[in-house]
Structure 1
Amino acid sequence: MVQSKALRIHGKEDMRIDTIELPEIKDDEILAEVISDSMCMSSWKLAKEGEDHKKTPSDLKNNPVMVGHEFSGKILKVGKKWADQYKEGEDFVVQPNLARDDTPFVPGYSYPYIGGDATKIIIPNEVMELGCLIPFNGDSYYEGSLCEPVSCVIAAFDAQFHLIPHTYDHEMGIKDGGNMLIVGGSGPMGLLAIDYALHADKKPSKLIITDIDQQKLDRAEQLYPSNDVDVKFINTKGLSIEEQEKLLRAETNGKGFDDLFLMISVAPLAEMAGRLLNSDGCLNQFAGPVSKDFSAKLNFYDIHYNFTHVVGTSGGNAKNEAKAAKLIAEHRLDVAKVITHVLGLDAAAETTLSQPEIGGGKKLVYTHKKFNRIELAKVDPQSELGKILAKHNGVWSHEAESWILNNMPDI
């Protein structure tokens, strides 16, 4: 038997670090260790909803599941079915969105033996069958953990579509050289979207990011300079919807936007976004609404005569994850910029439950380690870790990760 320590959910807001015995793997399974997991607000929603969440078993009290779905690690043992495709010692990432028709169950929400906030896991057959276990060749495990959120951004950008001139056929993806607006874009997913917009093959010519936190906007502006895309960060705090709409329209000389991403679920902002669309503009509801009856008014005149359209994406897929892993490994995206806190596994329950109050960007868990949550901006600059952070302009790095893995106590 292999022992694992894991954050598991036993019911609403009932999350615990449990020590469990993993069974021997079957011929179609893989044993692996997780090194790092980045937290998603979806895990906070999971903690709040418990058994009411559509992806969890109905009886968490008797069937607790491992939490965490943005993880990276190393393969330890491969069942004979997969021995020709995966090797012991190989680093990996997992695309948790299995996209199966028969069940909503996915890693990090539904399984007793696979989740990101664990020291060791058993990867079930369906993950490999669906191409969702992906080798990772990046420099650091934190980069691997952020492949999943990047895959969500890639999925959203790929889901955009625009008419091919003089046809009713569509070209998928954002409009190359168009105007793009990201509403509520200074959070971690917004920052990853900015990074991707600036460095993907298709780029907007103008990119505007709005939010109501000047400090976060200032940080985003510092982190994401651009020479070939006109980028502007706008604080809309205190502005009415009418004032926001007038200001944003003026930024495009009255032309509006070809691609628009909503990183928050607020009905008046969604309705404003619809009015700001150019002819053939595409609005993406990126943020997952908490309320199942979230709705907003939509102008069907514009849909008919101006060919505006709306899409929504929830998570990525295996193809998106593989693309994210490649872009990150090639250093085309600098995902370290979204990490604002690091912590040991022992701090994962409290941090998951407190994400809205903590604020900031991504919280990165080092699953084999035991230490309290560290806010990078508040690290003593004279400490060893502080000096490493200073060398990298306060941004997480391979050197910082190595320091954590070599110096923090094991859990």
Structure 2
Amino acid sequence: AAGLCFSDTKIIKLGGDHPRLYGRDLANDPIIPAHEAALTIIAVGENRREQYKVGDRFVVQADIYFDGVNLAFGYMLPGALQQYVLIGKEILDGDDGCYLVPVQAETGYAEAALAEPWACVVRAYRDVRRSDLKPGGAVWIIGTPGAEDEDYRLAGAEYAGVPRRVVMTDVPEGLAGQIRNLAGGAGVQVTTTDRFSEISEAELVENYTGGKGFDDVFVLGSGSPEAVEAADRSLNKRGRLTIVTDKPLPRPVNLDVGRIHYDETYYAGASPKNPLAAYRKIR
């Protein structure tokens, strides 16, 4: 059985521009969609016969990573809108192990295929985000006009995760001094950049994260929507953006909200008196 997801209609609309297709030329390199699937094994290769047998049933955990690359089932890998699917090493020996989930004999095919969308619903109600700075990660802190007038306090920072590097741009000196003192005792590299108006966030991402993006980004104050937009573009997968202000921004900001789904990015606000409060678990 195969279900149809709204994301499948997005493939029709966006083609190779769909975030999971990486610009693939579908006219010359088409795909077979459908990632909500219940499968039954009808043949097993010689090297896998001790692990699988004809008649075994599975659903596919579609968010497949192989050698660090997302090769989602029904996107980069052929999906379930075909009579037969070849399950290869990307699924059987992926970065997280095997992406096949066993199904009991009494479970219906449609019931099993709905496991993936129902799992999305369950996940939406669970607060599983990071509750700390990413240990060994990269942090970018950006000050905006007016941020120098605030009294920033890093309450509980000594108990926070210890990043590998902190990059500061236009950070008020009082807060910058607190950060240097904390970082010095923990062996964290601290770098101060040129002013925000003189830098490229793409170059910072390349120079300080190897192109992956920052794991934690803080924008201080509400004086620059452009800084918020740059911070969003600079986020790593599963990165967190915290806007530290109690004042409204002067205009709406352009954020790639699709990354919340595809890259598990997270956005929060916090008071200048306790920026790290944004990492507290939601009760």
TM-score, normalisation: structure 2: 0.46
Structure number with bigger Rg: 2
From the two aligned structures, give the one with the greater strand fraction. Answer: 1
TM-score, normalisation: structure 1: 0.33
> Which structure is higher in RCO with an 8 Å CA cutoff and minimum separation 6?
1
